[in-house]
Amino acid sequence: MRFRTVLAVTSSLLMAGCSLSEPPPRSGSPGAAVSQLQDVQACSTAFSLPAGWRVQPLGEERWMLHGTGARPLQVTLQCRTLSLDGPADPVLEPALGPLDRAAMNAKRIYWGTPTEPRHQAVAIERRWMEGSEVQEAVELPRMVDDPAGAPHVLLMLRWDEADASHIQQREALIASLTQSLEASGAAKDTTGTAP
C-alpha cells in the first residue's frame, strides 16, 4: 500500500514538472538538522529539501512543500521570472495575504551563512508586531548559466517563532537549500530587491 502511495506521489510530481529523488546522505552538510536530502527540480532549478518533506502540486508552476512532525511547516513554491518588488508585491498575497503596514514590520534578510554570501538567498521578512507569526518570501539565486528571463524559485512561508518545531523545520530547509546552492554553483548576484 505504501509503495502505491509513493508511486502515485512521484507520478504526479513528474507530470506537474517537479521531480523528486533521494540521493545517499551527503557529508559535511551545514546544520545538524540535515541528515539526508531529497533533490527536487522545479522552475528550471535543482535544489534539495530535508528528508521527509513532501511535495504537492498546486497547479501550473506552483507546489506546496510540506515539512515534518505534528505541525508541519508549509511552503508555497512558485516559478517566477520577475524579481520581487518589495514586501507588498501582489504575487505574495495568495500565499501570505496583503501586507498590513500598520501592524507588520518588513525588512530584507538572507537565508544562508555570512561566510558564503554568494550562496545566500534573498528573503523578505514580514513580521507581525503583536503575535509570533513570521512570513517570508525567499528568492533562490539564479544559476550562473541561466538565460535572461528564465524562471526562478520563489518560496513563501508562514512560521511561528514560538514553535520549536517550526524553527527546526525552517533551519533544516535553509541548510538544505544552502547546500544545494553551494553544490550547483549559484550566481553571485541574487534576484531580490530591497523592500
pLDDT at residue 42 is higher than 50:
yes
Residue 39: which CATH number? 3.40.1000
Strand order in 121-128's β-sheet?
54-59, 62-66, 74-80, 152-160, 133-139, 121-128, 104-111
Assess if residue 192 is contained within a domain.
no
Check residue 180 and give its pLDDT.
78
Spatial neighbors of 23 by CB under 8 A, at least 6 apart, are: 37, 38, 39
Assess if residue 195 is contained within a domain.
no
Assess if residue 66 is contained within a domain.
yes
Which residue in the block uniquely carries the three cell numbers 509513493?
A: 6
Q: Round to whole Å and give the CA distance between 25 and 101.
A: 43
Please check whether residue 175 is in contact with residue 33, taking contact to mean a CB–CB distance below 8 angstroms.
yes
Query: What is the total count of domains within the chain?
Result: 1
Assess if residue 6 is contained within a domain.
yes
Query: Of 154, 165, 162, 113, which Cα lies nearest the Cα of 134?
Result: 162
Assess if residue 193 is contained within a domain.
no
Highest mean pLDDT among 136-145, 163-172, 177-186: 163-172
Check residue 114 and give its pLDDT.
61
Q: Round to whole Å and give the CA distance between 20 and 9.
A: 10
Q: What is the pLDDT of residues 98-125, one digit of tens each?
A: 999 999 999 998 887 666 555 568 899 9
Assess if residue 190 is contained within a domain.
no
Q: What is the pLDDT of residues 140-151, one digit of tens each?
A: 876 666 667 778
Q: What is the pLDDT of residues 44-82, one digit of tens each?
A: 778 889 999 999 999 888 999 999 989 999 999 999 988
Assess if residue 194 is contained within a domain.
no
Long-range pairs, 161-166, Cβ under 8 A, ≥24 = 161/132, 161/133, 161/134, 162/132, 163/71, 163/132, 165/69, 165/70, 165/71, 166/71, 166/73
Assess if residue 189 is contained within a domain.
no
Domain extent for 10: 2-184
Q: What is the pLDDT of residues 89-100, one digit of tens each?
A: 999 999 999 999
